[in-house]
Structure 1
Amino acid sequence: MVPDYPIYFWMIAGIAVVFVGIAKAGFGGGVGIVATPLLALVISVSDAAAILLPLLIVCDVFAVWHYRMGFHRRSIKLMLPGAVIGIAIGALFFGYFAQNERMLQIGLGVLCLLFVVFQATRAMILGVLAKRHPHAAEGVLMGAVSGFTSTLAHAGGPPATIYLLPQQLERSLFVGTTVIFFAAINQIKLIPYLGLGILGMEHLVTIAILSPLSFVGVKLGIFFNQRFTDVWFNRIVYGILFVSGIQLIMGKSVLLWLVG
C-alpha cells in the first residue's frame, strides 16, 4: 500500500534522491548532505534518515561500479576503521535524539549551516594549503567523525573532505575515494538502523517508489562529472542547505516567517 504522503513530499523526496545520486557519482565532497534536511522539512528526521539509507545504498551500487578502479587506497584503509567506531557511537546517541525530535532538527540545522560555511571558505583554504599527506591518526579521527555524523543524518561528507582536501587528489580519484568510503559506511550503518528499529517495513514501499531516481541521479552525476565543473551545482546545493538549515532551526518555513 502506497503511504499517504502529500504530493509535496514526493516532489521534495524525488529532488533529494536525484541530488544525492548526482552528488555521489559526480562531485563527491559530501554535497549529498542536502537530502536529509530536505526530507526533514516534511517528515521526522529519523524517518528521513531511514528512507534515505537504502536509497543511498542503491546509488552506491551504480557509483562503485563506475569508480571501482580509481580510489585512494591509503585513505580508505585509515578512515574506515575510524568510521566503524563513529557509527557505533552514533548508534548509541540516535536512540536518545530520536526521542527529542526538536533537538535533532536543531542539530541538523546547525550542521547544515556549518557545512555551508566550510564549503564557502574551502576555496580560500585550498588556495593557501600546501599539498601534504596527513598523519594516519588524522585519517582515523576524521573517519570516526564522519561515521558519527553519517549515522545521525547521512552527513559524513565534511569530515571526510577535511581529511582528503590537503592531499589535493586528482578529481576523479577524490570522487572515487568518497564513493568507496561511503558505500562501505552505508553498508555498516544497516546494522544499527535495523537493530534499533530506525528502518522498518513501513518504509519499504516509499523506498521502492523512489529507488529508480537513484539510478537517474547517478547517471546524471557521471555525465556532469565528465563535462562540467561543480561550481554551479554546488552553489545550488549550498543555497538549499542554507535555507533548509534555517528552517530546521526555526521550526517553521522561512517564507512564512518573512511574510508573517
Structure 2
Amino acid sequence: MIELFGYTLSYSTLALLFVAAFFIGMAKTGVHGSSMFAVPLLAIIFGGKMSAGLMLPMLIMADLFAVKYYHRHANWSYLLKLFPSAAVGVVIGTWLGNIIDDEVFRSVMSIIIFISLAIMLWMEKANKENIPDYLWFAILMGTLGGITTMIGNLAGSVMALYLLSMRLPKNEYIGTAAWFFLAINLFKVPFHIASWHSITVDSFMLNLLCLPAIAIGAWAGIWVVKRIAEKYYRWLVIAMTAIAAAVMLV
C-alpha cells in the first residue's frame, strides 16, 4: 500500500488509476468512447459521486490537449446552440445527483443511447439524410449532454450521437467536441466543489500525478485518428459509443 495525498492505494489500484487517465486522454483527442472504460474503473476505486469529482479535472486536462491540437476545426455554430441548454442540464444534473442512484441513471442512459444508435445505424444503412439541424434538437441534446456529463461524466456518447447526426468531418467533429467539453467541464467545477464536495486539494494533487498518463493517452489518440480514413472514423465512433453504452449497462 502507498499513501498519496490522503488516499491509501495499493500499487495495482494506482496502476488502474493511470490506465483510466490514459483512456481519458485518448478519448479527448479522437478515440471517443474510450473514456467510458475509465468511468467504472474510477467508480470501483473511489465510489460513484467521488469518482465523478476525481475524474473531472483529468477530463479538463485532456480537453486542453484536444483544444490545443484541434482548436482550428471547431464549428462554432453548433457550439453556440449547445452551450445554453447544456448549462441548464448541468444544473438539473447537480440536483438529480443528490436524489437518484448512480446505477439506475446509468442503466436508463445506456438504454437511451442504444435506441439512438439503432436509429443512427438504420439511417446509415438506408442512406438517409442527416437529422435536420433544428434548434429544438440541439436544445434537447445539449440538455441531455449537460445532465449526463454532471452525473458520472457520461455525456461523450450523447454528444457523439448529436455531432455524428450533423455529419461533421472527422477533424471538425473532434474540434467541436473538444471545445464543448472544455467549456462545460469548467462550468461544472463550482458545482462539484460547493454542492457535491467531490473536488478537494488532495484529489486535485492526485489528478496532477496522472497528467503524464493523460498526455500519453492524448498522443495515442492523435496517432490513431491520423491513421483512420474519414469514412471509417464515423464507424469507429459508433462502435466505441456502443461499447461505452454496454459498459454503462453492466
Is TM more than 0.5 here? yes
| Contact 1:134 1:163 survives alignment (8 Å) | no
Identity value in percent:
22
Q: Aligned-pair distance for 1:15?
A: 1.7
| Contact 2:116 2:161 survives alignment (8 Å) | no
User: Aligned AA for 1:60?
Assistant: D
Change (3 A) 1:119 1:8: farther
User: Aligned AA for 1:198?
Assistant: S
Secondary structure class of the residue paired with 1:199? coil
Indicate whether 1:87 and 2:100 are aligned: no
Q: Aligned-pair distance for 1:40?
A: 1.2
User: Aligned AA for 2:11?
Assistant: I
Show structure 1 runs of 5+ residues with no match. 98-102, 247-260
Distance (Å, rounded) in 1 between the aligned partners of 2:13 and 2:218? 21
1:57 aligned residue: 60
User: How many pairs are equivalent?
Assistant: 240
| Contact 2:102 2:152 survives alignment (8 Å) | no
User: Aligned AA for 2:37?
Assistant: V
User: Aligned AA for 1:12?
Assistant: L
Distance (Å, rounded) in 1 between the aligned partners of 2:216 and 2:241? 18
Change (3 A) 1:12 1:244: farther
1:69 aligned residue: 72
Q: Aligned-pair distance for 1:232?
A: 6.9
| Contact 2:160 2:241 survives alignment (8 Å) | no
Secondary structure class of the residue paired with 1:18? helix
Q: Aligned-pair distance for 1:112?
A: 4.3
| Contact 2:160 2:237 survives alignment (8 Å) | no
Distance (Å, rounded) in 2 between the aligned partners of 1:147 and 1:7? 34
Q: Give the structure-1-normalised TM-score.
A: 0.81
RMSD: 2.5
2:211 aligned residue: 211
Distance (Å, rounded) in 2 between the aligned partners of 1:74 and 1:239? 29
Distance (Å, rounded) in 1 between the aligned partners of 2:240 and 2:137? 30
Q: Give the structure-2-normalised TM-score.
A: 0.84
1:152 aligned residue: 151
Change (3 A) 1:233 1:178: closer
1:26 aligned residue: 30
Q: Aligned-pair distance for 1:132?
A: 4.7
| Contact 2:22 2:217 survives alignment (8 Å) | yes
